[in-house]
Amino acid sequence: MVALLVLALVLVVTGLLPTHDASALAGRTAPVLGFVVAITIVAELARDAAVFDLIAQRIGRWGRGRVLALWAAVILLAVVSTIFLSLDTTAVIVTPVVVLLAQGVGVSPLPFAFATVWLANTASLLLPVSNLTNLLAATAIGTNPAAFVALSWAPALAGILVPVVLLTLVHRRTLFGSYTAPPPRAPGDRVLFLASAGVLLVLLPLLALVHDVWIPASAAAVVLLALFAVRRRHALRLSLVPWQALGLAAALFVIVETAHARGLAGLLSPLTVHGHGLGELLRVAGLGALAANGIDNLPAYLVLEPVAGGDPAALMALLIGVNLGPLITPWASLATLLWHHRITALGITIRWRSFMLWGLAAAVPTVGVAGLALAAVSN
């Protein structure tokens, strides 16, 4: 990452990225990166307040000993977390919570671990806040979240249902079993827990309703930072800020923008979409999926954005590819690498060959069905 940051700095300082392009890029990406920082702080502090742990415990008790009911509740948690708090929150925070829950009640954690990493990616299409790529495309797709959702709801539904159905069928022997519900436990600081949960309850609907999502996210982060400064000061640490993700995103923004300014957009012009036909939408989605699995989903979106020609339906097709498609290679999504680090720390071994084969089996039908869904709602 350091090398990418140095390269980005050189591109700006030497003028290889023209000043007016750099200014426009800063104006476009500053609110996006600000939201990433704010929502990460909110999610991390909510975890420190045991909000996610208590939710998992309640889920364990609501299942009443039926693994299938526990599975459905975990799927709902992963979907809600991804949609409102972004895919990295699901990969980093929800994954260890549900894996430890499964281990604690004597159920194989494997289907739950796969559910969190797949849904972290495939459930990240519904709202602009669900994925950094969505935030980049949101303005061109519509002036408010409703315009985005009008195109995203059907493919987003496909992105949730197809992987869940596949996982349920593959792990049916585990999921149609039983378990012993865990005993109830109280949070260490009830005031901190209730206040943090309240902040999340207020924030989530605002993220779906307002255009400038960095504003309510920043306000929530400030409230929680003040609360923790009073009741748990030691939890306030510099690592709350996602420095690595922030630096990587900023560097990629500069590098790809420089490439476009120096002629990349012209080279991609033969790939530009023509019309809203099913074939065109599937072609763009397929390009996005291939690029994401080759070079990671964020640079894949940035590189291919001109292919959509500013057309909302084509941009949504590209988002289908780069959001729902990166299930195959380990580097296709930063969320996947973060997820792998978490589950390895919990003693779960995932062989990348097996991961990639199952990812291929899931990605192809998921992207295909989502593309069909988009064609149905956009024409």
Question: pLDDT digits over 24-80, tens only?
Answer: 888 888 898 899 899 999 999 999 999 988 888 888 888 888 999 999 999 999 999
CB atoms within 10 A of CB 178: 14
- Mean pLDDT calculated for residue range 337-343: 89
pLDDT tens, position by position, 167-185: 999 999 999 988 888 777 7
Q: Where are the domains of the chain?
A: 2-378
Residue in the block written with tokens 């498609």: 325
pLDDT of the residue at 161: 98
Query: Which residues are paired to 178 by β-bridges?
Result: 66
> Residue 66's pLDDT is what?
93
Q: Look at residue 375 and tell me whether its pLDDT is greater than 90.
A: yes
Burial class of residue 276 in the structure, from the number of CB atoms within 10 Å of its CB (0-12 exposed, 13-18 middle, 19+ buried): middle
Name the percent of the chain lying above pLDDT 90.
60
CA angle 83, 85, 91 (to 5 degrees): 90
For residue 1, pLDDT over 70 is answered with no
CA 221 and chain centroid, separation: 19
Give percent of the chain with pLDDT exceeding 70.
100
Residue 304: its pLDDT value, please?
93
Average pLDDT, the chain: 91
- What are the tens digits of pLDDT across the range 185-239? 788 889 999 999 999 999 999 998 888 899 999 999 999 999 999 999 999 999 8
Cβ contact 126:146 at 8 Å: no
pLDDT digits (tens, 9 = 90+) for 138-150: 989 987 889 999 9
Average pLDDT, integer, range 319-323 = 97
66 backbone dihedrals φ, ψ, rounded to 5°: -100, 120
The pair of three-digit structure tokens given for residue 288, joined into one six-digit string: 């996005």
CA distances from 210 to 204, 205, 215, 216, 358 (A): 11, 9, 9, 8, 37
Within 8 A by CB and 6+ apart from 61, the residues are 181, 182, 184
Mean per-residue pLDDT, 91-120: 92
Instruction: Give strand pairing partners of 66.
Output: 178
How far apart are alpha carbons 248 and 237 in whole angstroms? 21
Cα gap 127→145, rounded to integer Å: 7
At residue 333, does pLDDT exceed 70? yes
